[in-house]
Every structure is written in structure tokens, then in C-alpha cells.
Structure 1
Amino acid sequence: MASSEAQTMLAVYAAKGDNDNPLAGLTVGQVPLPKVPEGWQRVKIEAATVNWHDIFTLKGVGMHKITFPIILGCEGVGTLEDGSRVVIYPVMISPGYIGDETKDEKRNVPSEIKDGTLAEYVAIPPANLLPLPKEIDSVSGSVLGIAWLTAYRMLFTKSGLRPGQTMLVQGSSGGVTTALIQLGVAAGMRVWATGRTAEKRKLSESLGVERMFESGETLPTQVDAVFDTSGTVTWKHSVASVKAGGTIVVCGGHGGFELPTDAFRLLVDQLSIHGVYAGTLDEFRDLISFVAAKKIKPCVGKVLPLSDGLEAFKSVHEGKTQGKVILTVGDVAV
């Protein structure tokens, strides 16, 4: 717990970066309370999510030069000093920037330049704080800023899909993939997905997937859009699985960032390929409204107290969870 006398708080932070052994720098311990820049607000965290972005930080890999030690965590839900509940929009932009936040060259999320959300308190610009509707609990709200916002932009902004069309999700248990499945089902798409294990495929079916396939399995028919979060290891199958005039949307490269593509097929079949990085503030507002209106309960694999940060990161790093891993502070309803 935070100590007002000592001015410290509990946090999960990266003490160093190690590409070969990322968990070597992971530390759970007391750190100073955050300094709040003029005009910013201090948020008392209730729930925050562990993302692969945090693993890359522990590897020493990021869009910006990382200064260690740094508190991890890109997203979360908490309360302000007046007691109002807020959800954090993670994409912070440079002063005076106007336009699509994801295209600001100086954009950053918590834990890249400033300390992140895996702590008892975090300092956030007020423009990045949105009210959390009463229909969304703190644990569910804590997953919306990274994986769910990315999935929302992939599906509703980039894919061009309409209700009734068929989409393939490459993967079935990760944060973005489960979000894509749940959003697609709620929007009236025919959702297909791949999964490496029977357990992962069963999870997808429980979320409403119409048809499940083993990873790399040839589909009975090509689909209108493919959503790829893995990169190299699934890319050939993604290209083969989309129909002429279809779309591939990619947001990650856990399986490698090299995407070898048959340019002849790309041209002749007029395929569209879109890359996605997070989403805009307006898209985040729309996502929150959609989740609340559709009464969607995001797939969560594990909820642990902040003090169990080491266990949480180990679960994510080893891929042993189905759905997001959440760390909570205090008594938070699950």
C-alpha cells in the first residue's frame, strides 16, 4: 500500500532491459509517488493490464529510448481525487498536435517515456481521461485501452466489413484476438478463428466463433477479411485465406515482423493490407459506448493483486493464459 509518510507506493517496474531474459529486470517493490506535472492529474489505480508491450519494454525494445528504471503498464482504470471513475486513453500526444493521435510522430503511451499504470498511482494528462460508464466494471475497463482499442480500429475503421460478412482471426486466446472475436460477434459478423490447441479453440467457441480451425489449416472458402496479430508465422496463411478484393489487417509481430507477400496475387486480386497502431481518442469513445451498449464482458484470463506482478508477467510471457491478465489495487469487484 502507498505510504503517505514515506511518500512511496507499490509498483511493478523494469529495472533493466534484457532481450534474452526479459523477466530478469522485472521488479515488484516500493517506489516514490509520481510527480504530477502542471495541468496533469493523479489517478489512483484500481485495475491495470499486463500487455506484450510490457514484455518488449523488459527486452529493452520500444518506439522511444527507454530510461530504466521505469514503471510498466500502458492502460488502466482508476479514480480521481474527487472520486470520479476514469479509464485511461493510452496514446499521449505532443503539445499542440491536432489530428489522428496515432500519427503523431512523438506519440507515446504510459511506460515509454513516463511511468506506467502498474502502480498504485499514475500521473496522466486530463485529455487522456474519460469517464467509465457504470455498465463497465473496473477489471473490464482496464483492458480497453490497448488490445480492445486496437481490435476496434482493426475491425470498424480498417477492415470495411459489414454485418454478415466472414472474418478470420489468426489466434484464439490473446488479448487482441479475443477482443476481435467478441467485437465481431457483437457486430453481426460471421467469425472464424484459428487456434494451436484444443483448449484455445474451445475458448473461442465459448466467445461465439462460428467455425474453428487448427493453425495453418486450409479454409473451406476464402474470407472477406483476415486479422493477423502474429506476423511471420501466420502471414502466408493469412494471404492464402483472403478472397479477391479482400482485406488483411495486421497489428503485431509476436511471431516475427517479416511479412513475405506474393506481389502478383496482391496486384491481380486487388488485396488491401492495413497496419494498425492502437486507435484515436474518438475511436476509444466509440469503443466504450459500444461495449457498454452491447453489454460485452471482455475475456479475462487471470486477475491478481498488484503484489503478484511477477506471477502475472510469467503467465503472459509463457503464453499460459486465455484472455488478459489484470493486476488490481485494493478491493476491486471482478
Structure 2
Amino acid sequence: MLAATALSQNATDPLSGLVLREVPKPEPTPGWSLVRVVASSLNMHDLWTLRGVGHPPERLPIVLGCDAAGYDEDGNPVIVYPVIADADAGMGDETLDPGRALLSEQHDGAFAEYLTVPTCNLVPKPDWLSFDEAACLPVAWTTAYRMLFTQARITAGDRVLVQGAGGGVASAAIKLAAAAGAVVYATSRSETKRAEALSWGARAVVGTGERLPERVDVVVETVGEATWAHSMKCLRPGGTIVIAGATSGANPPADLNRIFYLQQRILGSTGCTRSELVAMLKMMDATGLRPVIDRTLPLSEIHKGFQLMIDGTLTGKLVIHPNA
């Protein structure tokens, strides 16, 4: 079968290590299931792997792709929950298991016609969700859901700032927060993406670093150094910044005096638990929320897809069809 495989890593030329090649169809071990992948989607995690960030070179080669929706061996439509972990080791939360691994970190991922995952990681795909839509959810949407509802615990009427509107997590956060009754603000350097964010439910969208109409209760931060100072200035006393990424750099000035004096909270967050994925699906069913899909591409054009991500021209998610 054809698969997009990371063979090497290069910080300045990440796509040089991404190769499309034929690999054997995987065989499931006891407790695991074979999934025929109908759709997958790109994530920044894949790009970090190719750049050598957070992924040891001794784990190469590995098939990339963290998101998958398809059919199990019995023909049932499924969404693949992407965290492979032991909930007991995480005190009931598999995302806190020290040995957890996201799909494509220790096990071959979803940019292939087939993959194998623990059977317990299969979640039934609802009929009202297309395979393309389902493939956008496992990493980006669940990350946004956990940031907002598990970590920040937003409620209706809260003021929420989402930095960097346009990415997969940011677009999900805007839609989810607005659906929960929050007043949502967002930032972007792109006029087009600012307009898109308004259509997703944001009350106002400003240029990166520009002043907001009011201070906010919660900041959803996935950009890092480039937006950190702005996030701090926009946060009310006692407010919360939730961090689930640092695409522009991971070492911003902490401004500890401001944090302790204003009693602000800085919370880390990752992807969600399986139960949170199921809860999010229920929320999407009740509200009619659907992910933003920029475009779809066949697996043969995955290099083009990654280049669009590198160039920052995507709005929402880019879906890959391994069998196209």
C-alpha cells in the first residue's frame, strides 16, 4: 500500500524527508484492529516530526498522520481516537500517562490506505458527520475542546480571545466557544482570515497585536512568542491563558510580576481523552457545528498540502484521501 513516510528530519527543509512509498499492509496484533482509512488530515505535529522537534530520529522511518476516519474490519464507520495510552497510568486520564503516544509517534500513522490501532481507540462515526469532517476532529478539534471546557472551564458570557485565527485548533476554538455562548475575539494578520473568523461566530477580529474592545477571561494560545505579550495584556486580573502549542517559538518572556500580582493562571493542555471526544461529538450534534475544511487532496499531493501549511495559506483543515 502507498504511505507518506518520514525517512529523515531537517529543520530548514522538512519536506525533503517526506517520501511516498509502498509499504506492507499492517497486520493487527491481539487487542488491535485494522482500519481502512477513508480520510485523514494534516496537523502541525506532522511538520514538527519532519523538522526533528519532539520526535527522536531513532523512531524513523514512520508513517505520518495523526487523524483518521474510515471503516473497521466489520465495515463499521469509525473515527480513530489518536492517543495510544493507558488510562490507569494517567490516574484515569490517558493524556496524563507518561508513556502516552500520539498516532505516528511510536506507531505508524494515517497517511496510508490502512492502519492498526488499539480496538478501544475506535469511536463510532455518527451518520450526520462526513468522513472528511470526521478526519478533522481527532487532534485539532479535541485539543480546542479540552482547552476551553476541561482546562479553562468556560461558561456562557465569558470573554475568550483566540490567537491566530485560521489554523485548525483556532478555527475549532472560535466555533466551539461561540456555540457555548461565549463572546469570542480573535486575531490574524490576514484580512481574509479575519473575515472568516467573523463568519464562524467571533464578535470582533483584529490584526495581530492590536487592542481588543475589552479584556478577556480566557486566552486560547497556540502561537507562542509572537503573540504572548499581547495575550498577557488582553487578559483580565484573575483570567486564564491556556496553551496547547507554540508555533512561533516556545520561550516568550514570562512576565512573572504581572502573573502573580494580577493572580492570572497559565494552564497547559494537549489533546483530549476518548470520553471528551465522545462528549464533543454530542455537542456538535446538538449545535450543528462542523469543521472548516480548506481543501482536500489525494495522498499523491501531500507534499503540496504541507507546503501550503508551511506558507500559512490554509484556513481550517486540509484533508488527505489515501485511496484517491
TM-score > 0.5, shorter chain as reference? yes
Alignment of 1:152 onto 2:145: yes
Structure 1 unaligned blocks of 5 or more: 1-8
Shift, 1:75, TM fit:
1.3
What SS class does the counterpart of residue 23 from structure 2 fall into?
strand
Alignment of 1:231 onto 2:185: no
Alignment of 1:257 onto 2:265: no
Once residues 127 and 255 of structure 2 are traced to their aligned partners in structure 1, the CA distance between those partners, rounded to angstroms, is: 48
Shift, 1:154, TM fit:
0.5
Residue 184 of structure 2 aligns to which amino acid in structure 1? V
What SS class does the counterpart of residue 118 from structure 1 fall into?
coil
1:327 corresponding residue in structure 2: 320
Q: Which of 88, 93, 103 is 2:85 aligned to?
A: 93
Deviations 1:234-255 (A, max 9, x none): 1111011000111111110101
Q: Which of 136, 149, 152 is 1:143 aligned to?
A: 136
Q: Which of 258, 262, 265 is 1:269 aligned to?
A: 262
Q: Which of 76, 82, 89 is 2:68 aligned to?
A: 76
Alignment of 1:181 onto 2:159: no
Instruction: Write the mapping of 1:1-334 to structure 2, written as runs, cut at 5 A.
Output: 9-62=1-54, 66-94=58-86, 97=89, 99-330=92-323
Shift, 1:305, TM fit:
1.3
Q: Number of aligned pairs?
A: 323
Shift, 1:29, TM fit:
2.3
Once residues 130 and 221 of structure 1 are traced to their aligned partners in structure 2, the CA distance between those partners, rounded to angstroms, is: 40
Deviations 1:132-183 (A, max 9, x none): 1111111111111101010000011111221012111001100000000110
**1:36 touches 1:42 (CA, 8 Å); kept in 2?**
yes
Shift, 1:261, TM fit:
2.0
Runs of 4+ in 1 over 3 A off after TM superposition: 63-66, 94-98
1:6 corresponding residue in structure 2: none
| Percentage identity across paired residues of the two chains | 39
Further displaced range: 248-257 or 286-295: 286-295
Once residues 196 and 22 of structure 2 are traced to their aligned partners in structure 1, the CA distance between those partners, rounded to angstroms, is: 37
Deviations 1:114-141 (A, max 9, x none): 1001100000101111101111111111
TM-score, normalised to structure 2, is 0.96
Once residues 203 and 159 of structure 1 are traced to their aligned partners in structure 2, the CA distance between those partners, rounded to angstroms, is: 24
Residue 35 of structure 1 aligns to which amino acid in structure 2? E
Once residues 106 and 255 of structure 2 are traced to their aligned partners in structure 1, the CA distance between those partners, rounded to angstroms, is: 38
Once residues 292 and 121 of structure 1 are traced to their aligned partners in structure 2, the CA distance between those partners, rounded to angstroms, is: 28
Structure 2 unaligned blocks of 5 or more: none
**2:185 touches 2:202 (CA, 8 Å); kept in 1?**
yes
TM-score, normalised to structure 1, is 0.93
Shift, 1:320, TM fit:
1.5
**1:46 touches 1:330 (CA, 8 Å); kept in 2?**
yes
Once residues 82 and 43 of structure 1 are traced to their aligned partners in structure 2, the CA distance between those partners, rounded to angstroms, is: 10
